[in-house]
């Protein structure tokens, strides 16, 4: 497992550095208001190409289930995006870029990687929080997870991003982007009688904020809201900077199910940091139903001490 971890950390860190370059050079103040997604599209595809290439070189027998594919980039109208990707991968040919992205078109099996090359599109465009999420799954469960969080300060150092990783049964750890000593992380010790810090998505459409608001009201003044984009929320909770993360179903999308690449890495990291991750009914997450969590509805992520209380509140008649 150590070999898998070494390659995974190197791949995610390399992708994070490219994403930082894209963000610094292509994202302008009005990118979001103009709905110009091209900068994050460039970073998204470049990130997947880098990570898939590194993984396949090291572990050619293991499929990669990634979020993206290169079909749209092969169309003439997207040639400009492809050319911009090439600017950040100057030693790569066009075919190498396209083929490396498509290395992520694998299918879930007994052992496979799952990858979200950039989670948090609007956070990226705001130059705020986003994450690169990579997990190795065996027999339907994550056994290794890596989160690259380029804009999440490491131990208060605003100029350093954060890497976080976990191996099943061995704990969760953090280290700064760019290298440094890894330190183990643990979730908070807060219980229902303490201040309860709830993580909320910055984007309101991503979850049922009204239901979360009603649940927070149960804790009165002890409930505090902490807002972050993307799977960065898992990293924040794992290092004890928050206590509860809810991903509750939106009533307007009753058939929606979460994608595995949006949660596999983060879920393992929180669990290995001592937290608990289930669906909203207290059922463990099942990653062996294809590319979505088809057997689960909603997510509840806590420091463990708060979990049963949150489940009870959510499922009151």
pLDDT in tens, 214-228: 899 999 999 999 999
Residues 309 and 225 in one domain: yes
Same domain, 148 and 24: yes
Of 284, 168, 295, 165, nearest to 234 by C-alpha is: 165
d(C-alpha 60, C-alpha 79), whole Å: 29
Q: Is the pLDDT of residue 276 over 70?
A: yes
Predicted confidence at residue 307, as pLDDT, reads 98
Structural domain includes residue 289: yes
Residue 191 lies in a domain: no
In a domain, 272, yes or no: yes
Count of H-run helices and E-run strands, the chain = 9, 12
Would residue 78 be called left, alpha or beta, if left means φ above 0 and alpha means ψ between -120 and 50 degrees? alpha
122 pLDDT higher than 90: no
Please give the annotated binding residues, written as ranges.
67, 116, 118-119, 262
pLDDT band at 117 (very low <50, low <70, confident <90, very high): very high
Same domain? 111 vs 14: yes
For 83, the token pair is 């050319």
At 202, list the tokens. Answer: 């910055």
Q: What is the mean pLDDT of the segment spanning 259-278?
A: 98
**How much is the pLDDT for 209?**
64
* Residue of 41, 114, 121, 276 with catalytic role: 121
Name the percent of the chain in helix, strand, coil, to the closest 5: 40, 25, 40
Helices 209-217 and 307-314, axial angle in degrees (round to 10)? 110
pTM: 0.95
Q: Are residues 8 and 151 in the same domain?
A: yes
CATH number at residue 285: 3.40.190.80
pLDDT for residue 208: 56
Residue 277 in tokens: 């991750």
> Which CATH number is 55's domain given?
3.30.540.10
142 shares a domain with 55:
yes
β-strand pairing of 299-302 with 244-247? antiparallel
Q: What is the pLDDT of residues 146-190, one digit of tens each?
A: 999 999 999 888 788 999 999 999 999 999 999 899 999 999 999
Q: What does the pLDDT average to over 279-304? A: 97
E-assigned strands of the chain?
63-66, 111-119, 131-138, 141-149, 162-167, 171-176, 183-185, 196-201, 223-228, 244-247, 276-278, 299-302
> Does residue 286 fall inside a structural domain?
yes
Q: Is 41 helix (H, G, I), strand (E, B) or coil?
A: helix
Distance between CA atoms of residues 246 and 239, nearest Å: 17
pLDDT of residue 86: 95
Name the domain count of the chain: 2
Pair 212, 89 in one domain: no
Higher per-residue pLDDT: 275 or 206: 275
Reported confidence tier of residue 78, pLDDT bands at 50, 70, 90: confident
| Residues contacting residue 280 through CB under 8 Å, at least 6 positions apart | 246, 248, 249, 297, 298, 299, 300, 311, 314, 315
Overall average pLDDT of the 265-283 stretch: 98
Q: Clarify whether residues 80 and 171 are in a common domain.
A: yes
Domain co-membership, 214 together with 154? no
Domain match, 132 and 201 both: no
- Residue 48 sits in the same domain as residue 118: yes
Tell whether 65 and 152 lie within a shared domain.
yes
Q: Which of 128, 152, 185 is the last residue of a domain?
A: 185
Q: Residue 35: which pLDDT band, with cuts at 50, 70 and 90? A: low
Burial, 151: exposed, middle or buried (Cβ in 10 Å; 0-12, 13-18, 19+)?
Answer: buried
Q: What is the mean pLDDT of the chain?
A: 92
Catalytic residue among 44, 63, 102, 243, which? 44
Task: Tell me if 180 is assigned to some domain.
Answer: yes
Is 174 catalytic? The answer is no
For residue 190, tell me if it sits in a domain: no
Q: Is 128 a catalytic residue?
A: no
Q: Inform me whether the pLDDT recorded for 81 exceeds 50.
A: yes
Structural domain that includes position 220: 196-314
Residues 4 and 144: beta-carbon distance below 8 Å: yes
Domain termination site, one of 150, 185, 220:
185
Tokens of 8: 């995974």
Task: Give the pLDDT score at 104.
Answer: 98
Q: Which residues are annotated as a binding site for Mg(2+)?
A: 67, 116, 118-119, 262
CA–CA separation, 145 and 172 (whole Å): 9
Q: Do 13 and 137 reside in the same domain of the chain?
A: yes
Residue ending a domain, choose from 185, 213, 242: 185
């Amino acid at each position: 497992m150590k070999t898998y971890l070494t390659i995974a950390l190197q791949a995610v860190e390399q992708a994070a550095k490219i994403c930082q370059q894209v963000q610094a050079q292509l994202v302008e103040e009005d990118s979001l208001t103009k709905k110009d997604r091209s900068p994050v599209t460039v970073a998204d595809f470049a990130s997947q190409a880098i990570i898939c290439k590194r993984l396949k070189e090291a572990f050619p027998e293991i499929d990669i289930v990634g979020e993206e594919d290169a079909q749209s980039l092969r169309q003439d109208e997207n040639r400009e995006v492809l050319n911009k990707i090439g600017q950040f991968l100057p030693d790569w040919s066009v075919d190498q870029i396209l083929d490396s992205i498509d290395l992520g078109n694998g299918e879930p099996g007994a052992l496979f990687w799952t990858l979200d090359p950039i989670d948090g599109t609007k956070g990226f465009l705001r130059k705020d929080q986003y994450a690169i999420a990579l997990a190795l799954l065996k027999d339907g469960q994550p056994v290794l997870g890596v989160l690259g969080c380029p804009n999440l300060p490491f131990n208060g150092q605003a100029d350093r991003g954060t890497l976080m990783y976990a191996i099943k049964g061995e704990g969760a750890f953090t280290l700064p982007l760019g290298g440094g000593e890894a330190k183990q992380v643990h979730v908070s010790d807060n219980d229902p009688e303490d201040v309860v810090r709830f993580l909320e998505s910055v984007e309101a459409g991503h979850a049922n904020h009204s239901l979360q608001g009603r649940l927070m009201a149960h804790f009165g003044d002890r409930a505090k809201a902490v807002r972050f984009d993307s799977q960065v929320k898992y990293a924040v909770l794992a290092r004890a900077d928050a206590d509860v993360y809810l991903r509750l179903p939106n009533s307007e999308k009753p058939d929606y199910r979460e994608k595995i690449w949006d949660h596999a890495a983060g879920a393992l990291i929180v669990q290995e940091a001592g937290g608990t991750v289930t669906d909203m009914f207290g059922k463990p997450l099942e990653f062996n139903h294809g590319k979505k969590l088809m057997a689960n509805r909603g997510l509840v992520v806590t420091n463990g001490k708060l979990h049963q209380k949150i489940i009870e509140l959510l499922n009151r008649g």
